[in-house]
Amino acid sequence: MNSVAVPILAVLGPAAASAVEVEVAERVGAMAASAGWVVLTGGGPGVMEAACRGALEGGGVTVGVLPTAGPTEDYPNPWVQIPVFTGAGSARNAFNILSATLCVAIGGGHGTLSEIALALKNGKDVWCWRSWMIQPPPSSHPTVPRVFDDPEDLYQALASHFS
C-alpha cells in the first residue's frame, strides 16, 4: 500500500471494451469514489472512460495519466478531472501502476497484461475480472493476481477492501 493520504484505485482495461466490461468498470469506479478513493486510469475510452464516469457520478476524483502530449480525439475522455499528459505512449503505464494502492483489471489486451506485470513486479495487489490469469513459475515471486469470475464477488471484495 502506498503512503499517500488518499488511496488510489488504478482501473486497467481496454479502450475497445465490451458492454459488460463497461458496466463493471463503471460500478467499480462508483464504489471506489463512494469509499473516498481516487480513481486513476489511462484516461482513454472504454474501461477507462467507464471507471471515470462511475467515479465522477459517485462524487469522486478522477485522474487520467495519458499517453499523449496534449488532447486528442480519444484522450482525455470527458470524465477525467485531472489529465496528466505524458507524451510517453504505453510507457505511461508505469506511472499508473506506481501511483496505485490497488489495481483492478477489467478485461484487457496486451496493454492491460503489461500493466498487470508491472504491478506484480512492484508488489502491488492486482484483482482481475475477465482479464489475464497469470501463474508464476515455480520458486518465483509469490504475488499473483486475485481472479474473479462473478462481478458480484469482485464488488463484495472491493466493498470489504474499501471499508
- Predicted confidence band at 27 (pLDDT cuts at 50, 70, 90)? very high
Q: pTM of the predicted model, to two decimals?
A: 0.90
Q: What is the pLDDT of residues 50-98, one digit of tens each?
A: 999 999 999 999 999 999 999 999 999 999 999 999 999 999 999 999 9
pLDDT in tens, 1-20: 555 689 999 999 999 999 99
Among 150, 160, 10, 153, which Cα is nearest to 84's? 10
